[in-house]
Amino acid sequence: FCCTRVCVSLIRERIAAGDSDEAMVALRYDLGEALLAAGRDAEAREAFSKVAAIDPGFRDVAERLARFG
């Protein structure tokens, strides 16, 4: 749990710092994964939604969002 919290914090810092669009999409996806692992489903859904808005075909983001209903 502690490691997940640290990962979420680090990923959010990278997102806030800005990067290329491609890197941002990957970071937001990774943030969603970390939030899911921490049991923070609402925040994970938000992160995956942002990924889908930028690149709907990124990895399995459509499947991730479908799981939320």
pLDDT digits (tens, 9 = 90+) for 30-40: 999 999 999 99
Determine the Cα–Cα distance for residues 2 and 54; give it in Å rounded to an integer: 30
Mean pLDDT of the chain: 89
Q: What is the pLDDT of residue 52?
A: 96
pLDDT higher than 60, residue 8? yes
- pTM equals 0.81
Give the whole-number percent of the chain exceeding pLDDT 70: 94
User: Which residue is it, tokens 């990774």?
Assistant: 30
Determine the Cα angle at 53 with ends 46 and 25, to 5°: 80
**Residue 27 or residue 19, greater confidence:** 27
At residue 4, what is the residue type? T
